[in-house]
Chain A
Amino acid sequence: METKNYAASIQLPDTDLVFRNIRNAKRFAIDIGGSLTKIAYYSTVSHRKVLYNADKDSTTSVDGDEYHYESSETERLHFVKFETKYIEHWLDFIRNHLIQSRESMVGKSIKATGGGAYKYAELIQQKLGLMVEKEDEIGSLIKGCNFLLRNIPDEQFSYDRHGDPEYRFINTEPSIFPYLLVNIGSGVSIMKVEADDKYERIGGTSMGGGTFWGLGSLLTKARGFDELLHLASEGDHRNVDLLVKDIYGGDYSALGLTGGIIASSFGKAMHHGHTKTDDTPGFSEADIARSLLFTVSNDIGQIASLYAMLHGLKRVYFGGYFLRNHPVSMHTISFAINYWSRGGVQALFLRHEGYLGAIGAFLRGAEECDTEKYSWGENYAGSSGLQSPLPHPAVGGWPGGTIDQLEMDRCDQQLTFFPLLANPGEYKPDAVDLTKDKEARDYWLSCFESSLGSFVNRAISSQPNSPDSQERANKFRDKYLQRLRNLKNHPFAYGNLTVRSLLDMREHCLNEFDFPDPYLLQKKMENEHALKLLKDHLSMIDGLEYGCRQEALVRGVLAGNVFDWGAKEVVQLMEKGLGFKEAADKLQARPWLHDDLDAWIERQQKVPYKCAVIFLDNSGCDVVLGIIPFARELLGRGTRVILCANSKPALNDVTAEELVVLMKQVALLCPVLGKHLEDGTLCIRESGHASPCLDLSRLPQTLVEELVDWKCDLVVVEGMGRAVHTNLLTSFTCDSLKLAVIKNRWLAQRLGGEMFSVMCKYEAGTRKEEQTSKFPKIS
């Protein structure tokens, strides 16, 4: 049955090569710095995708005709960083791998920025046949910065070398403006950014990366910026700098200056007015390099904080080659900012700081990236993490080493904040931050690693007729394993480490190796099974008196939620065959772990809601026997219901597309629901997600507008991924109901319960009125 549906030939991306998918590159930009060059390109990636023939008459058919695989294109941005000294090799590499001949490039252009844009213009033109168009450096930086802040949730972080964790990622607020951008290149430019097109250079200093590099080259034998940084990391500045305690013998407590504070940089390097003695100096070249690094970083931090205070700005982002996420420099700058602003200004760094210029230059006039129309997301499978460059063998004239890259996939919509969050500025989806919680981190990393085998098997069996599925599945395994192991040492590599990021990373890796929907058959089978039970289930429900019915509906959702292929222990049960009644019996006895059932039932006695949005979880019993009856009850009371499902597959979660097909079948079984579907009082919407979790700061703009128009006053979030791993602690301006069954023994115990503990959390909205007019938008 699969053979005929299997798309014939998909050109897989060159998964283990740098400059992935370069043959499909459509557009280029380059940022050439003194030591590092960044290339940005846009490509389309072919993916196998399941398409449903929703318009087909034979919607009742259950034997596989209603969907087929098709090859579909998705848009991707690639950013690759390499040392400028290898620029010629890489340009050759790109030329040799482009599908189009060099001649076809003639007349096309490449956007270029950075100090080397002019120097290498001719080389680029000669190698690639592209016209070089220079882009303003500062304008590019700001455009790149805005793009990253809007599209990568954990882009910004504060750094504290002595902190645990060292990296604290800051959530993006609905408005990213205003901010100060301090670009530390050779010199330092300081920009005040108030809107996309409103920014000015308000100052700067000539003491920047070039000063560190230049003075360092004069004072030490280190050659090159990196060598100098390395030298600095081994030195002790106290041998070169005059400290407060060298002058005072201790602290200068009247001014609150502790003895360790530097009173005079390089103050110990001076000879004291008489001819030099034979004494060797009390410091080494490493000490000098360290002192120099401190001198420059401190100074930049101080000047940046003065500008921030003068302009009343609290957020200061740092970019440019000087920092390069180097811990000592970030630490010194953070310290200086905090010290001089007395805590009033925060130094923030960007995970992809090195790419700002390249991204900005690329975005200039790139219509397909129109940030008004689309949002982008980081692809974990194709991106190297913070301080986790990917090892790579030699290519062409490049001797091999590590590669830093970032890949971003285009979402089909513009995403924005859920309009009914109580504190959108402080919204963090995840309940537990694994970067902070070592015990939880260790558990989840090993849990994901140990369950990897079953995912590999599932992936292979989902494409039984594909000759290379085994090979691809192995590649998937290797890639995900490499990521998991790197995260053990660098939990901060992709922002906050969370169960969500681990789940999403697995989905990204599966997709990367062309396993777009390993649970396709399973979902289909379970839906069919559940549909058979629906009619009787609905009659049973309808036979109950009001109060009992409300309880039965909630219990139905919970029983349905047991059917989760993401939960290892449940998978074992399901593989043996698990019935809906059996599942209901597994549920914890009341009182539940969190039990607001009575409050919810009481609320159901009062005025009906105007509009409810339900974020769905699994296919099969979950949606059919749990959610559909629950929604039907709301509809019966005159509430408009929006069923919000994943845009793309993740585990056995129902997708919006599948739901459309499914609801047509439901409509035949229950004409009342069919009528609601027809009238639009029951509708199906995409969540914009391809994840088992839910990030309420990234919902489709169109959905958000509807929620506002329809005066949505109830949000129902269902399942472990959406209501426990994420959003457990989120409060809303409207009423909310969070329903989930905890199907992980470790997590259940940690929350103070047992396996199959029930989370039933009903909360009244923080604001009853005026919840509709204003809603935040990422601007």
Chain B
Amino acid sequence: MPGERKKGARRASDAVAREGDTSQASERSKNDAERSVNKGEGGVGDGSEETLPTTNGHTEPPPKTIKVTAGEMNGATSHHPAQDPTPPMPWFGMDIGGTLTKLVYFEPTDLSEAEEESEVETIKNIRRYLKSNKAYGETGHRDAHLQMESVCVGNRIGTLHFIRFPTSEMCQFLELCKSKGMASLASTICATGGGAYKFEEGFQREMNLTLHKFDELDSLISGIEYIEDNNMDSECYYFLNPRSPNLCQKITYDFSNPYPFLVVNIGSGVSILAVDGPDDYRRVSGTSLGGGTFLGLCCLLTGCNTFEEAIELAANGNNENIDKLVRDIYGGDYERFGLSGDIVACSFGHMNSAEKRANVSREDLACATLITITNNIGSIARMVAANEKIEKVLFVGNFLRVNPISMKLLSHAMEFWSEGKLKAIFLEHEGYFGAVGCLLELMKTGEQTTSSSTTTSG
């Protein structure tokens, strides 16, 4: 079965093959790397939907090899259209986090004529609305560059769209859904993240929608596995020479032999999971110092308003005006303990001096905040990995969006402090795995959902 996950089986022969894969991958992705990373840390727009060439979004990409099981393939052809117990369209997966809500929308591209005719106008409207815009209201965004074509979900072929908006705008979102007629369509939406619990009542009241709640970590893990399977050639990557502005390269990482690995999910806070095998994971740690802390502190320190703004400030700042380095204390390296002079000895260590406070810029403050939070996450991740005896560390979550500074810092920290044992791995779909996992859960509950939706819509 060509598409089946055979990670365990491939593990033995993988070591040699992967060396080759990696070098090929590095060749292949050189252009990608140059485009999206080598602009340096100042390239705030890198990877964001505004500046990235949006070929993926607008032109048909070359057909991809879709990694699905033979069974799924058969199903897609033979069972189609839907005698399958799949839930009624539209299909969404939603991850309502502490700061951002992530929405994944599956657009079927295999609609038969009969289906298209029978499709209610509301569904077409929603599809059109979502597809034709990249921004919704003031704060909603569709990450067109992340869009995935020709993927199989619930035995259907289609496109995955990735949308996000601040959780604080949930009310406006509900209004929008109402105005687009969502309430008349489905009775159940799958949601994960804390907000699935917090906003459950709102969904019920405003739109007569029942939220089908899924555990966020289950969703996260199944989302990662699904996306990685479907986007094998370009989902995972790492940084070579992360500290060098000239030599730094973003290189595709062959993640076909993944277990065990650590997932560090950096949202508002941080969760750290150890994944030992398919459906076999544990939450081993976490920290409250995450993206929310970075943005919260930046807002207080610089008066900035958005994550993008905070990152842009940070990219143009210098933390050495804020932080005390080892050399500020020891005049150079602290040789006795092998600490190089340019290591941060005390984050914000210069800031108890009024004189120094008077001479810092917003950029410096943002930069020091970003470095503090990132290094701290790196330290904890590294220690957890050591305690768990795991060498591959996946960093995901929206903190890493448009944030090459942090990714490179994490890459360096993992490698340097572990003497090369640990590897920091990143994923293109940073923050959307929970939402994707949630969408997949929706498929599993098809039967139940169908029956209930029949009664509601009938």
Give residues in A with beta carbon < 8 Å to B: 34, 115, 136, 138, 185-187, 189, 200-201, 203, 205-208, 210-211, 213-215, 217-219, 225, 240-242, 244, 246-250, 252, 254-255, 261-276, 288, 295, 298-299, 302-303, 306-307, 309-310, 340
Instruction: Indicate whether A207 sits within 8 Å of B372 (C-beta atoms), given known contacts A295-B288, A306-B384.
Output: yes
- List of A residues within 8 angstroms of B98 by Cβ: 242, 246-247, 263-264, 267
Closest 5 CB pairs of A and B: A247-B194, A214-B351, A214-B348, A266-B296, A264-B292
A243 to B386, CA, bound (A): 28
B168 touches A272 (CB 8 A): yes
A274 to B135, CA, bound (A): 14
A249 to B304, CA, bound (A): 28
Does chain A have a CB within 8 A of B139? yes
A268 to B293, CA, bound (A): 9
Contact among A115, A213, A249, A267 with B292 in the assembled complex (CB-CB below 8 Å) = A267
Give residues in B with beta carbon < 8 Å to A: 97-99, 138-139, 166, 168-169, 193-195, 197-198, 200, 215, 217, 267-269, 283, 285, 287-293, 295-301, 303-307, 322-324, 329, 336-337, 343-352, 354, 357, 365, 372, 375-376, 379-380, 383-384, 386-387
A266 touches B193 (CB 8 A): no
A299 to B200, CA, bound (A): 33
A208 touches B346 (CB 8 A): yes
B292 touches A270 (CB 8 A): yes
A310 touches B383 (CB 8 A): yes
A291 to B185, CA, bound (A): 44
Interface of B (DSSP majority class):
helix
A265 touches B349 (CB 8 A): no
- List of B residues within 8 angstroms of A207 by Cβ: 347, 372, 376
Instruction: Name 24 interchain pairs, CB-CB below 8 A, sorted by A.
Output: A138-B337, A187-B344, A187-B346, A210-B347, A210-B348, A211-B348, A214-B347, A215-B348, A217-B354, A218-B348, A242-B292, A246-B198, A263-B194, A263-B288, A264-B98, A264-B288, A265-B292, A266-B292, A267-B288, A268-B296, A270-B296, A273-B305, A276-B303, A288-B300
- Chain A residue nearest to B334 (CB atoms) is A201
What's the least CB distance linking B412 to chain A, in Å?
A: 15
- List of A residues within 8 angstroms of B293 by Cβ: 264-267, 295
A187 touches B345 (CB 8 A): yes
B380 touches A302 (CB 8 A): yes
Contact among A214, A217, A241 with B288 in the assembled complex (CB-CB below 8 Å) = A241
B323 touches A340 (CB 8 A): no
What's the least CB distance linking B312 to chain A, in Å?
A: 14
B288 touches A265 (CB 8 A): yes
- List of A residues within 8 angstroms of B297 by Cβ: 215, 266, 269
A248 touches B198 (CB 8 A): yes
- List of A residues within 8 angstroms of B298 by Cβ: 270
Contact among A211, A242, A250, A252 with B268 in the assembled complex (CB-CB below 8 Å) = A242
Instruction: Indicate whether A303 sits within 8 Å of B380 (C-beta atoms), given known contacts A249-B198, A269-B296.
Output: yes
A275 touches B289 (CB 8 A): no
Contact among A205, A244, A270 with B299 in the assembled complex (CB-CB below 8 Å) = A270
A205 touches B379 (CB 8 A): yes
B268 touches A267 (CB 8 A): yes
- List of B residues within 8 angstroms of A275 by Cβ: 305
Instruction: Indicate whether A302 sits within 8 Å of B287 (C-beta atoms), given known contacts A218-B348, A273-B305.
Output: yes
New A-B contacts (14) at CB < 8 Å, excluding given A214-B346, A267-B296: A34-B352, A185-B346, A186-B346, A187-B344, A189-B337, A242-B269, A267-B268, A267-B293, A269-B297, A270-B296, A272-B99, A273-B168, A288-B300, A302-B285
Contact among B97, B169, B350 with A272 in the assembled complex (CB-CB below 8 Å) = B169
A340 to B285, CA, bound (A): 7
B387 touches A270 (CB 8 A): no
A269 touches B299 (CB 8 A): yes
What's the least CB distance linking B228 to chain A, in Å?
A: 24
What's the least CB distance linking B420 to chain A, in Å?
A: 17
What's the least CB distance linking A597 to chain B, in Å?
A: 58
A206 touches B375 (CB 8 A): yes
- List of A residues within 8 angstroms of B287 by Cβ: 299, 302
Contact among A241, A247, A274, A303 with B305 in the assembled complex (CB-CB below 8 Å) = A274
A273 to B384, CA, bound (A): 33
A138 to B386, CA, bound (A): 25
Instruction: Indicate whether A274 sits within 8 Å of B139 (C-beta atoms), given known contacts A215-B351, A218-B301, A303-B380.
Output: yes
What's the least CB distance linking A141 to chain B, in Å?
A: 13
B138 touches A274 (CB 8 A): yes
What's the least CB distance linking B458 to chain A, in Å?
A: 32
- List of A residues within 8 angstroms of B386 by Cβ: 310
A259 to B354, CA, bound (A): 38
Instruction: Indicate whether A206 sits within 8 Å of B344 (C-beta atoms), given known contacts A214-B350, A267-B296.
Output: yes
- List of B residues within 8 angstroms of A208 by Cβ: 346-347
B380 touches A276 (CB 8 A): no
A206 to B166, CA, bound (A): 31
A266 to B287, CA, bound (A): 12
Among B98, B298, B372, B375, chain A packs the most CB atoms within 10 A around the CB of B98
B323 touches A247 (CB 8 A): no
- List of B residues within 8 angstroms of A263 by Cβ: 98, 194, 268-269, 288, 292
A241 to B375, CA, bound (A): 20
- List of B residues within 8 angstroms of A262 by Cβ: 269, 288
- List of A residues within 8 angstroms of B168 by Cβ: 272-273
- List of A residues within 8 angstroms of B193 by Cβ: 247
A585 to B169, CA, bound (A): 88
A303 to B217, CA, bound (A): 23
- List of B residues within 8 angstroms of A217 by Cβ: 351-352, 354, 357
What's the least CB distance linking A272 to chain B, in Å?
A: 4
Contact among B139, B295, B324 with A270 in the assembled complex (CB-CB below 8 Å) = B295
- List of A residues within 8 angstroms of B354 by Cβ: 217
A481 to B342, CA, bound (A): 55
- List of B residues within 8 angstroms of A244 by Cβ: 194
Among A213, A215, A249, A306, chain B packs the most CB atoms within 10 A around the CB of A215
A136 to B334, CA, bound (A): 11
- List of B residues within 8 angstroms of A138 by Cβ: 336-337
A206 to B329, CA, bound (A): 13
A307 touches B383 (CB 8 A): yes
A248 touches B289 (CB 8 A): no
Instruction: Indicate whether A250 sits within 8 Å of B347 (C-beta atoms), given known contacts A201-B337, A218-B365.
Output: no
What's the least CB distance linking A621 to chain B, in Å?
A: 63
Contact among B197, B306, B344 with A250 in the assembled complex (CB-CB below 8 Å) = B197
- List of A residues within 8 angstroms of B343 by Cβ: 206
